[in-house]
Amino acid sequence: MAKVHILDHPLIQHKLTFIRDKNTGSKEFRELVEEVSMLMAYEVTRDFALKDIEIETPVTTTKGQVIAGRKVVIVPILRAGIGMVSGMVNLIPAAKVGHIGLYRDPETLQPVEYYCKLPSDLNERELIVIDPMLATGGSASAAIKFLKDRKVKNIKLVCLLAAPEGIKKVQEEHPDVDIYLAAVDEKLDDHGYIVPGLGDAGDRLFGTK
Ligand code: PRP
Ligand code: URA
């Protein structure tokens, strides 16, 4: 079974409180989502392999370590996933970014695909799928299946908030995918919103409603 990593670092929890607050406007919301995503990237990359290289300091030659493992593709689920891209890319600047467009049908809560643009060397890379919200899990699970259908093997899922229902769905359908979260909330409401949650992540990021 895939692991669920709760990133309960004080800085992440502090910023998350202001992300949740309904009085936080779009500008500050975007900045906070970027900052939390950057902090999460630090933990998500913890298992990256290193290799030794020889370098010269101004004083002598010495060995240093650099990232040795697979290259990365960051895959935001449109639209709200876009809010997490810059924070991730700040820490993993060599990453490519692929996009998957899914929206959740408000009646059925089923994910509907409308866009896909991915790098061609996808299956030589480690994939980090990002979306602020893991609610029913329908969107994340569909995006992961979509990537696996393209023979991708190494996938991690990174979300700010999750409902227990969403975690269960992804774990059942994709037991090989580790999930990284800033917090697990209590439940979903009758409209599939995470409670207490942060509202509609896309609307708050982009000022729509
Ligand atoms: C939100 C969110 C996830 C999805 C989560 O997107 O960004 O993609 O809902 O819900 P689920 O786990 O029940 O599938 P939304 O469909 O609102 O589209 P948007 O990002 O374009 O606003
Ligand atoms: N999508 C959101 O943006 N927020 C939720 O609470 C659930 C799904």
What is the atom index within ligand 2 of the atom nearest the CA of 201?
Answer: 3
pTM of the complete model: 0.95
Number of domains in the chain: 1
CATH number of the CATH domain containing 32: 3.40.50.2020
Q: Is 150 known to be catalytic? A: no
Return the pLDDT at 76.
98
- Cβ 201 under 6 angstroms from ligand 2: yes
Return the pLDDT at 81.
98
Return the pLDDT at 166.
98
- Cβ 197 under 6 angstroms from ligand 2: yes
User: Does the model's ipTM exceed the 0.95 cut?
Assistant: yes
R_g (Cα) of the chain, nearest Å: 18
How far apart CA 96 and CA 73 sit, in angstroms, is 5
- Cα 133 to ligand 1 centre (Å): 7
**Strands 99-104 and 178-184, bridge-based pairing:** unpaired
Query: Which tens digits make up the pLDDT trace of 104-140?
Result: 888 888 888 899 999 998 888 999 999 999 999 999 9
C-alpha distance across the termini of the chain, in Å: 38
Is 68 labelled as part of a ligand binding site?
A: no
Ligand nearest 138 Cα, by number?
A: 1
Q: Is 104 known to be catalytic? A: yes
Average pLDDT of the chain, as a whole number: 95
Is 200 labelled as part of a ligand binding site?
A: yes
- Cα 192 to ligand 1 centre (Å): 10
How far apart CA 183 and CA 159 sit, in angstroms, is 9
Return the pLDDT at 153.
87
Q: Which amino acid is at 17?
A: T
Three-point CA angle 165, 97, 19, nearest 5° = 50
Containing domain of residue 26, as a range? Answer: 4-206
Return the pLDDT at 70.
73
Q: Is 200 known to be catalytic? A: yes
- Cα 91 to ligand 1 centre (Å): 25
- Residues of the chain scoring pLDDT < 50: none
| Burial annotation 160-197 (CB, 10 A radius, 16+ → b, else e) | bbbbebbbebbbeebeebbbbbbbbbeebeeebbbeeb
Catalytic residue among 108, 121, 189, 208: 108
Q: Is 121 known to be catalytic? A: no
Return the pLDDT at 104.
80
To test the ligand 1 pocket, which listed residue (84, 136, 139, 206) has its Cβ within 8 A of the most ligand atoms? Answer: 139
Return the pLDDT at 1.
76
8 A C-beta contact, residue 130 and residue 81? yes
Return the pLDDT at 107.
87
- Cα 180 to ligand 1 centre (Å): 17
